[in-house]
Structure 1
Amino acid sequence: MQGLSTVLGVGIDIVSLPRIQEVIRRRGADAFVKKICSSAELDAWKSKARGDADQLRFLSSRWAVKEAAHKALSGTHRPDSGLSLKSYSLSHGPNGAPLLSLHPASSVHILAPSVSRQYLESNLYPPTLTLTLLPSISHDAGLVTAIVIAGLKESD
């Protein structure tokens, strides 16, 4: 994997597990899942154990990482892009590292015209750039923290 050609933004979010637990209690886990999860995550949710701790970790991680990603892209995407929490999909690689993708996969089209001109149409950056999201998630003491670096990377 090559490094980023440029960084568009960095976002961070912290979530209180009791807060998410209260949302699940009031609205139900399935309603919360439908609000924030991509179709791939819905499949993962259906195959998950239904224990409270599993549900809480699954949903809290997704909420935190998607909020962080949205912040990282703040000011870089088109207002009419339709970008929402369901646009992001969190999965894990073979080594357990979090992977965050944005749908559709050719997501550079969501960038605002000023960002597109600056990064995609200049001679400095080839047209083979793709939007890349690099997440990190941590759980401890009733909190979930996520950070996401959004950038442009030359396609392989």
Structure 2
Amino acid sequence: MILGIGVDILSLARIEGVISRRGAARLAARICSAREQAQFAALADNTSGADTLARAQLRFLSARWAAKEAAYKALPFAVGWKDVELGYAPSGRPLLALVGGAGVDEARSGAPRAISLLATISHDAGVLVAAVVAQEER
């Protein structure tokens, strides 16, 4: 059963501005789960050149920002930045998951639910869009 649908549209220039004012590492610490923070730190080892690293960090953080915002809009209960984690299947398909204690209050207020998140992310011309469907599994 579909619980909700969320969409977020993000200007990459907006996240670039946040990164230039506050720093990429600070933004990552704010919005990324522990696993995502480790992946973010590994970007420095997997890219070469300052511009390439800056672009990789921008893509990494922008995708997570938009996907998590879309997930917040799709879910029937509140979650924090670090309660939703973005990964990718070997095919490149985005995978979103609830982590930590996300949904615990919802489960206490009614029957526990198994919730899955379906996501898609696309970017073009300085804009990134993420769409998420939250569904209850049977």
TM bin, normalised by shorter chain, reads 0.7 to 0.9
Shift of 1:146: 0.1
- Which structure carries more helix by proportion? 2
Which residue number corresponds to residue 133 of structure 1?
A: 117
TM-score, length of structure 2 as denominator length: 0.87
Shift of 1:110: 3.8
1:32 equivalenced with 2:6 (yes/no): no
Shift of 1:108: 4.7
CA distance in 1, matches of 2:31, 2:72: 12
Shift of 1:141: 0.6
Q: CA 1:108–1:85 in structure 2 vs 1: closer, same or farther (change >3 Å)?
A: closer
CA distance in 2, matches of 1:99, 1:14: 18
CA distance in 2, matches of 1:107, 1:19: 28
2:83·2:102 contact (CA, 8 Å) conserved in 1?
A: no
2:117·2:135 contact (CA, 8 Å) conserved in 1?
A: yes
Q: Aligned runs of 1:93-108 on 2, under 5 Å?
A: 93-104=89-100, 107-108=102-103
- Amino-acid identity (%): 44
5+ residue gaps, structure 1: 1-5, 121-126
Which residue number corresponds to residue 124 of structure 1?
A: none
The structure number with the bigger radius of gyration is 1
Shift of 1:66: 0.2
Task: Please list every run of at least 4 consecutive aligned residues from structure 1 whose deviation after the TM superposition is greater than 2 angstroms.
Answer: 106-114
CA distance in 2, matches of 1:66, 1:52: 21
What amino acid is aligned across from residue 61 of structure 1 in structure 2?
A
Shift of 1:25: 0.1
Q: CA 1:110–1:103 in structure 2 vs 1: closer, same or farther (change >3 Å)?
A: farther
Q: Aligned runs of 1:69-84 on 2, under 5 Å?
A: 69-73=71-75, 76-77=76-77, 83-84=79-80
CA distance in 2, matches of 1:110, 1:18: 36
Which residue number corresponds to residue 152 of structure 1?
A: 136
State the number of aligned residues: 131
Pick from 64, 68, 71: which aligns with 2:70? 68
Which residue number corresponds to residue 20 of structure 1?
A: 15
TM-score, length of structure 1 as denominator length: 0.77
